[in-house]
Amino acid sequence: MFINECKDELTGHIIPFWSALEDKENGGFYGYMDYDLNLNKEADKGVILHSRILWFFSQCAMLLEDHECLRLAKHAYHFIKKHCIDYEMGGVYWMVDCKGNVVDDMKHTYNIAFAIYALSSYYIATNNEEALGLAEKLFEDIETKTLDKYGYREAFSRDWQLVANDALSENGLHADKTMNAILHLIEAYTELYKANGSARVAQRLKFLLSQMSDIVYNPETNGLRVFFDTELKEIGNVHSYGHDIEATWLMDLACETLEDKELIEKFKEMDLKISRNILNTALENGALNNESDNGVVDKKRVWWVEAETVVGFTNAYEKSGDPEFAVAANKVWNYIKENIIDKRPGGEWYSEVSFEGVPHDYKEEVGPWKCPYHNGRMCIEIIKRSIH
């Protein structure tokens, strides 16, 4: 039932919604739809959004053997190739306008990671060597331009001078490094390693995993630290429940992709501790609270947090055999069906709802961050895990 419902949501709702946003005149996909489902065809187009769309349609094309999804992936790929990559100075831009002209040329490690993730996935779907070459070039850009002796710096000008990391800093903090960037580099390098099997990519992926286990993971709380200074010393006291549960299954996947038995066992143990902590502390009234900041819990329900919770608890059930995780995954999916999925004609998923389940009408339905990646991936992961 759960699996069939996820497949129906993917094929009958999420794919049609994003397919309809194809910009056939200027390329790529339209960049903004407000809460009232008004589509702004003149809005700027986020590069993160387009990478996530490319990843999504590439994955759907493979999973469903769907030619239309493959065509849409190709459409996204051509826009990224033509407008989003800085061939002169490396990396990818942050934002382009509706026609593909650069409007924000900031280079961000997190953003480049998503381009690697998407291009690698597109290569796996198509065997397009050009796409793999672009992913490998972006990998080299990150490895040669962002590292210091502690890890990966994140925010740069177009010519790779450090700038304030406002894009990933929140809660009134100014972080030089973030768990979020480390996590999504792991995700990107996992996909790139699937694509090219490179020993160097494997080595850097293991380095990132070591940062998660040795620095980001807090064994006293069984949670992940969120914000850091340059030397990777924690700043603030934030606990991001959604990132915790998302990280568990992505770290497990990285270890399994590396086929490293020692890492698989090490991270399985750590990730189950994190998953159980989230189950015991953050799940309330059928859904996951958003985060805790200095002990104050933010109880709004965010679309991506709930989607990742379903995957994370499903992964924890598979790893542990504990039915409590399966029950929790189903419970959150039922919450999503009732409260997060937008049942209005032309809608997709609400970005946020209140603890009481009321949609926040100031949050967009499509935007630079609001995409088919988390909810689409939830459906894809549940379907894939049922097949295997």
* pLDDT per position as a tens digit, 104-117: 999 999 999 999 99
Question: Tens of pLDDT along 171-181?
Answer: 889 999 999 99
**CA–CA gap between residue 68 and residue 301 (Å, rounded):** 32
**CA–CA gap between residue 323 and residue 329 (Å, rounded):** 10
Strands 227-228 and 39-40: unpaired
Domains in the chain, CATH or no CATH each? 2-387 (1.50.10.10)
* Angle at 180 (CA atoms; ends 33, 388), nearest 5 degrees: 85
3-state SS, residue 2: helix
- Average pLDDT score over the chain: 97
Contact status, residue 56 vs residue 376, Cβ threshold 8 Å: yes
- At residue 228, the pLDDT reads 98
| pLDDT surpassing 90 at residue 387 | no
Cβ neighbours of residue 218 closer than 8 Å, sequence gap 6 or more: 224, 225
Contact status, residue 237 vs residue 294, Cβ threshold 8 Å: yes
| pLDDT surpassing 80 at residue 1 | no
What sign does the dihedral 173-179-185-187 (CA atoms) show?
A: negative
Q: How sure is the predictor about 22, in pLDDT bands with cuts at 50, 70 and 90? A: very high
Contact status, residue 252 vs residue 300, Cβ threshold 8 Å: no
* More confident of the two residues 169 and 41: 41
Q: Which amino acid is at 289?
A: N
DSSP state letters, 75-144:
HHHHHIIIIIB-TTT-SB-SEE-TTS-EEE--EEHHHHHHHHHHHHHHHHHH--HHHHHHHHHHHHHHHH
Q: How sure is the predictor about 215, in pLDDT bands with cuts at 50, 70 and 90? A: very high
Is the pTM above the cut of 0.95?
yes
**CA–CA gap between residue 150 and residue 145 (Å, rounded):** 14
- At residue 216, the pLDDT reads 98
Q: How sure is the predictor about 67, in pLDDT bands with cuts at 50, 70 and 90? A: very high
- Residue whose C-alpha is closest to residue 237's, from 161, 180, 294: 294
**CA–CA gap between residue 228 and residue 285 (Å, rounded):** 32
Q: Up-side HSE of residue 75: CA atoms within 13 Å toward CB?
A: 23
| pLDDT surpassing 70 at residue 226 | yes
Q: How sure is the predictor about 169, in pLDDT bands with cuts at 50, 70 and 90? A: confident
* More confident of the two residues 169 and 72: 72
